[in-house]
């Protein structure tokens, strides 16, 4: 209990304090558990009380999600998917027209943000997140395995023609390199990429950026070589906006996943299939 007092809780709930005390006593008698420890005029929630409260809260959350899903089915068929601006620009939007056609009369709404902070909100059906596929109380389906490679713009290759002839990973150290400046980022950066080839020295010049959009803008100007995601940025290479530097790829056990509370009910399940085919759905227990 937040206030440590039944009377204060009763005032907030607009009910009689005696009613709260009576209901708690009934639950304690029925369960044989002590939910609150009485300390004079104050009460403290016991571990058993905390565990039951969390279960009740989770139950109400499930009911709210079910009601929201049923209301959506009644009022109109749509699915809301959230992603970062970078993923939206480089992966989702180039596929959006095809996704809309494949989903038929189900509207696909997109929310973009700079972080995952609001991706668990009730109005978000699905989100695209980077990690190992493990998010508490969520289900996930793999979209893209993490695999990166160096690429440069024609403007950069005009400034540094030698980059076209790179054969060994060590040769990359002579060029300015671009990467994201994200604290505690578990993904592959230049340091981890070079370490895969047994290289540990710091590059001569490293430019870091707070977002992928800013990094790509700098890369397009010819400022340096970024690492591209296979499956995420390939269209930029296919369109001729960038050229792969060398024939190097490094992967990891991480990746981008489509994440949601319930990936098996329609029309959410259809969108998951459209995004990644018949991806395996992984259920995760509560933390």
- Closest residue by Cα to residue 276 from 148, 113, 95, 111: 95
Question: What pLDDT digit, counting tens, does each position of 269-283 carry?
Answer: 889 999 986 434 454
Contacting residues for 149 by C-beta, under 8 A, at least 6 apart: 227, 228, 230, 244, 248, 249, 250
Which segments of 40-198 are extended strands (E)?
42-45, 78-84, 107-113, 126-131, 139-152, 177-180
Opening angle at CA 110, ends 107 and 114, nearest 5? 170
Q: What is the CATH number of the domain that holds 38?
A: 1.10.10.10
Question: What pLDDT digit, counting tens, does each position of 137-182 carry?
Answer: 899 999 999 999 999 999 999 999 999 999 999 999 999 999 988 8
Q: What is the DSSP letter of 279?
A: P
- Closest residue by Cα to residue 263 from 99, 76, 128: 128
- Closest residue by Cα to residue 179 from 143, 130, 214, 136: 214
135 and 84 assigned to the same domain = yes
Q: Among 35, 50, 73, which residue terminates a domain? A: 73
Look up tokens 């098996």; give the residue. 264
- What is this structure's pTM? 0.69
Per-residue model confidence (pLDDT) at position 194: 93
Across the range 64-88, mean pLDDT stands at 72
Instruction: Indicate whether 261 belongs to any domain.
Output: yes
Instruction: Indicate whether 228 belongs to any domain.
Output: yes
Q: Across the strands, what pairs with 244? A: 151
156 and 217 assigned to the same domain = yes
Residue 108 has pLDDT above 80, yes or no: yes
Q: What is the DSSP letter of 197?
A: T
Instruction: Indicate whether 208 belongs to any domain.
Output: yes
262 and 120 assigned to the same domain = yes
Contacting residues for 235 by C-beta, under 8 A, at least 6 apart: 94
242 and 150 assigned to the same domain = yes
Q: Which tops the pLDDT comparison, 211 or 9?
A: 211
164 and 238 assigned to the same domain = yes
User: How many structural domains are present in the chain?
Assistant: 3
Q: For residue 208, give its domain range.
A: 145-252
Question: What pLDDT digit, counting tens, does each position of 179-223 carry?
Answer: 988 877 788 999 999 999 999 867 667 899 988 889 999 999 999
210 and 272 assigned to the same domain = no
Across the range 50-63, mean pLDDT stands at 70
37 and 175 assigned to the same domain = no
pLDDT range class, residue 70, cuts 50, 70, 90 = low
Q: Among 18, 49, 73, which residue terminates a domain? A: 73
232 and 267 assigned to the same domain = no
266 and 239 assigned to the same domain = no
């Amino acid at each position: 209990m937040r206030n440590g007092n039944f009377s204060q809780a009763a005032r907030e709930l607009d009910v009689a304090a005696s009613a709260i005390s009576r209901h708690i006593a009934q639950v304690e008698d029925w369960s044989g558990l002590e939910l609150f420890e009485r300390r004079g005029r104050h009460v403290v929630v016991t571990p058993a009380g905390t565990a039951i409260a969390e279960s009740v809260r989770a139950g109400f959350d499930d009911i709210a999600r079910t009601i929201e899903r049923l209301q959506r089915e009644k009022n109109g068929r749509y699915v809301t998917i959230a992603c970062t601006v970078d993923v939206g620009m480089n992966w989702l939007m180039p596929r959006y027209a095809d996704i809309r056609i494949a989903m038929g009369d189900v509207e696909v709404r997109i929310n973009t943000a700079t972080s995952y902070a609001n991706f668990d909100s009730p109005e978000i059906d699905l989100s695209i997140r980077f990690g190992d596929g493990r998010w508490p109380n969520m289900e996930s389906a793999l979209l893209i395995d993490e695999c990166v490679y160096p690429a440069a713009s024609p403007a950069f290759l005009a400034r540094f023609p030698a980059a076209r002839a790179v054969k060994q990973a060590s040769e990359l150290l002579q060029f300015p390199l671009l990467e994201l400046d994200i604290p505690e980022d578990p993904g592959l950066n230049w340091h981890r990429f070079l370490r895969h080839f047994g290289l540990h020295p710091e590059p001569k010049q490293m430019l870091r950026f707070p977002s992928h959009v800013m990094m790509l803008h700098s890369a397009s100007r010819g400022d340096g070589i970024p690492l591209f995601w296979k499956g995420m940025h390939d269209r930029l290479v296919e369109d001729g906006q960038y050229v792969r530097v060398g024939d190097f790829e490094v992967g990891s056990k991480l990746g981008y996943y489509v994440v949601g509370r319930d990936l098996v009910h329609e029309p959410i399940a259809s969108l998951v299939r459209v995004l990644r085919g018949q991806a395996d759905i992984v259920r995760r227990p509560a933390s």
